[in-house]
């Protein structure tokens, strides 16, 4: 037993914490909620809506389903999407903006997906996007459920321990332009009310009890399944989906996807400092999307695999304990909602052992990784010109720093190369 004071969400509102001393067990056995498995497949013709949230195995499931989409119909199942992840459709349905610099999603994206779902007829269909977790308001969620088939919809939420989600979500925010360091970000998310800045989407996605409750109001608690993902069983989530959908065992297999790997601490810090320079110089979002996220970062992920010597993103002990306590409270409230829970709820309140922070070398980006990232940006620039609407500020040469002059000269050289 340990005695700690950690922030916890109030029972009354989603946005506020309250502080109180509490005791907390440090292993999985403290949670007396039952460990359950899949009892029977979902009824034929179900519209299985997998709403995430982020960093809970969504990409793995989407990749596995998309890889065997041609084999699914013979088992009465359809994956109605032209790509692994219909992100634009989900964003449009939830009235959420695109990622920084990307093309804004439109109603056409959502309408096209609805048409594909409707074309499945009486077969079971799977619609999966973690961005459904970003939906706000009962009206929006009710509209999505109704358009997908009303009573045919079965909602599925996948959950992992909050302590494991924190570092993954932070580096993902950095890939979308965040400039705040990890420790500072944790402080804002866990200790600084109202816990919304600089990433207001975090608790909208990862206050998991409120997430389940929002969707249960529209779908019905009897048609909501919560799956607790066990990271020790790498293919356990695949087997759960197979059982829910009535698919043959081992039909779903992991699909290697280097672009989905998390960044190391050094890679994330390099990108975070680049974000500072990018914002400080007032460059347009379209440039960031093209050259940084889909250029430098994407090529770096594809071309470089982290080694055991690379420093991982480590969460301080105080944040790990706070996350475990919040996870325990969320799981208790999810159990009270009357939804089906598959897996071991105790995993969400376990306190993983964290390595001592003393003696860990400072993160250093290797020359190879830096070169790969730079090449990715150059290749993206050479492939097609970046068009943007933000006008550049007129300045004389004497008002411009040498660093910016080098950047401008490099841009002009790239323009000449593209002409050739």
Q: What is the pLDDT of residue 342?
A: 96
Q: What is the pLDDT of residue 114?
A: 97
Higher pLDDT pick, 137 / 376: 137
Q: Helix/strand/coil (H, E, C) string of the chain?
A: CEEEEEEEECCCCCCCEEEEEEEECCCHHHCCCCCECCCCCCCCCCEEEECCCCCCCHHHHHHHHHHCCCCHHHHCEECCCCCCCCHHHHHHHCCCCCCCCCCCCCHHHHHHHHHHHHCCCCCEEEEECHHHHHCCCHHHHHHHHHHHCHHHEEEEEEECCHHHHHHHHHHHHHHCCCCCCHHHHHHHHHCCCCCCCCCCHHHHHHCHHHHHHHHHHHHCHHHEEEEECCCCCCCHHHHHHHHHHCCCCCCCCCCCCHHHCCCCHHHHHHHHHHHHHHHHCCCCHHHHHHHHHHHHHHHHHHHCCCCCCCCCCCCCHHHHHHHHHHHHHHHHHHHHCCCEEEECHHHHHCCCCCCCCCCCCCCCCCHHHHHHHHHHHHHHHHHCCCCCCCCCCCCCHHHCCHHHHHHHHHHHHHHHHHHC
Q: What is the pLDDT of residue 53?
A: 98
Q: What is the pLDDT of residue 376?
A: 82
Q: How far is CA 312 from the centre of its chain?
A: 18
DSSP bridge pairs for 48: 126, 154
Q: What is the pLDDT of residue 383?
A: 77
Average confidence (pLDDT) over 178-188: 97
Residue 7 scores a pLDDT above 80 = no
Strand pairing class (2-9; 17-24): antiparallel
Q: In this structure, is residue 406 part of a structural domain?
A: no
Q: In this structure, is residue 335 part of a structural domain?
A: yes
Residue 101 scores a pLDDT above 90 = no
Look up the CATH number of the domain holding residue 219: 3.40.50.300
Q: What is the pLDDT of residue 367?
A: 83
Looking at the structure of the chain, the number of domains it has is 1
Q: In this structure, is residue 111 part of a structural domain?
A: yes
Q: In this structure, is residue 292 part of a structural domain?
A: no
Minimum mean pLDDT range among 96-110, 133-147, 177-191: 96-110
Report CA-CA distances (Å) from 219 to 145, 215, 418.
7, 6, 52
Confidence of residue 353 (pLDDT cuts 50, 70, 90): confident
Higher pLDDT pick, 352 / 159: 159
Domain residues for 169? 2-176+183-255+315-349
Residue 1 scores a pLDDT above 90 = no
The answer to whether 246 and 75 have CB atoms below 8 angstroms apart is yes
Q: What is the pLDDT of residues 16-73, one digit of tens each?
A: 333 332 233 333 333 455 667 777 899 999 999 999 999 999 999 999 999 999 999 9
Distance CA 155, CA 145 (A): 9
Q: In this structure, is residue 249 part of a structural domain?
A: yes
Residue 6 scores a pLDDT above 60 = no
Residue 3 scores a pLDDT above 60 = no
Residue 420 scores a pLDDT above 70 = no
Q: In this structure, is residue 201 part of a structural domain?
A: yes
Q: What is the pLDDT of residues 189-238, one digit of tens each?
A: 999 999 999 999 999 999 999 999 999 999 999 999 999 999 999 899 99
Q: What is the pLDDT of residue 392?
A: 43
Distance CA 96, CA 92 (A): 6
Average confidence (pLDDT) over 182-187: 97
Per-residue burial over 33-53, b if 16 or more Cβ lie within 10 Å, else e, is beeeebeebbeeebbbbbbbb
Q: What is the pLDDT of residues 114-152, one digit of tens each?
A: 999 999 999 999 999 999 999 989 999 999 999 999 999
Residue 360 scores a pLDDT above 70 = no
Q: What is the pLDDT of residues 295-349, one digit of tens each?
A: 888 888 888 888 887 888 999 999 999 999 999 999 999 999 999 999 999 999 9
Is this prediction's pTM over 0.95?
Answer: no
Q: What is the pLDDT of residues 386-412, one digit of tens each?
A: 555 444 444 443 344 555 545 655 565
Q: In this structure, is residue 280 part of a structural domain?
A: no
Q: What is the pLDDT of residue 368?
A: 83
Residue 377 scores a pLDDT above 50 = yes
Q: How many beta carbons lie within 10 A of that of residue 266, not counting itself?
A: 20
Q: What is the pLDDT of residues 190-203, one digit of tens each?
A: 999 999 999 999 99
Q: In this structure, is residue 76 part of a structural domain?
A: yes
Distance CA 343, CA 345 (A): 6
Q: What is the pLDDT of residue 17?
A: 39
């Amino acid at each position: 037993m340990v005695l700690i004071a950690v922030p916890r969400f109030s029972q009354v509102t989603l946005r506020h914490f309250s502080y109180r001393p509490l005791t907390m067990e440090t292993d999985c056995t403290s949670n007396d909620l039952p460990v359950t498995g899949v009892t029977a497949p979902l009824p034929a013709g179900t519209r299985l809506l997998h709403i995430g949230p982020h960093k809970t195995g969504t990409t793995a499931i989407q990749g596995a389903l998309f890889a065997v989409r041609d084999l699914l119909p013979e088992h009465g199942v359809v994956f109605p999407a032209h790509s692994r992840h219909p992100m634009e459709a989900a964003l449009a349905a939830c009235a959420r903006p695109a990622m920084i610099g990307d093309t804004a999603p439109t109603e056409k994206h959502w309408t096209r997906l609805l048409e594909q779902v409707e074309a499945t007829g009486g077969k079971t269909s799977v619609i999966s996007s973690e961005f459904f977790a970003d939906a706000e308001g009962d009206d929006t969620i009710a509209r999505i459920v109704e358009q997908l088939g009303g009573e045919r919809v079965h909602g599925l939420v996948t959950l992992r321990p909050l302590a494991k989600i924190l570092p993954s979500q932070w580096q993902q925010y950095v890939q979308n332009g965040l400039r705040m360091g990890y420790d500072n970000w944790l402080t804002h998310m866990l200790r600084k009310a109202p816990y919304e800045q600089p990433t207001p989407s975090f608790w909208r996605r990862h206050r998991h009890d409120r997430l389940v409750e929002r969707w249960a109001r529209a779908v019905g608690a009897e048609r909501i399944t919560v799956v607790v993902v066990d990271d020790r069983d790498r293919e356990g989530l695949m087997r759960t989906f197979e059982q829910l959908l009535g698919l043959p065992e081992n039909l779903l297999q992991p699909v290697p996807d280097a672009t989905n790997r998390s960044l190391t601490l050094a890679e994330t810090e390099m990108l975070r400092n680049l974000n500072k320079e990018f914002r400080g110089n007032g460059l347009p979002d379209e440039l960031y999307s093209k050259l940084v996220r889909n250029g430098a970062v994407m090529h770096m992920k594809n071309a470089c695999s982290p080694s055991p010597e690379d420093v991982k993103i480590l969460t301080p002990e105080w944040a790990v304990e706070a996350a475990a306590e919040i996870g325990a409270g969320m799981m208790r409230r999810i159990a009270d909602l009357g939804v089906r829970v598959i897996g071991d709820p105790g995993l969400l309140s376990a306190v993983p052992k964290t390595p001592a922070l003393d003696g860990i070398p400072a993160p250093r980006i290797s020359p190879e990784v830096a070169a790969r990232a730079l090449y990715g940006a150059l290749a993206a620039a050479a492939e097609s010109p970046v068009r943007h609407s933000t006008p550049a500020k007129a300045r004389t040469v004497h008002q411009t720093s040498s660093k910016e002059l080098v950047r401008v000269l490099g841009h002009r050289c790239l323009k000449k190369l593209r002409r050739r």
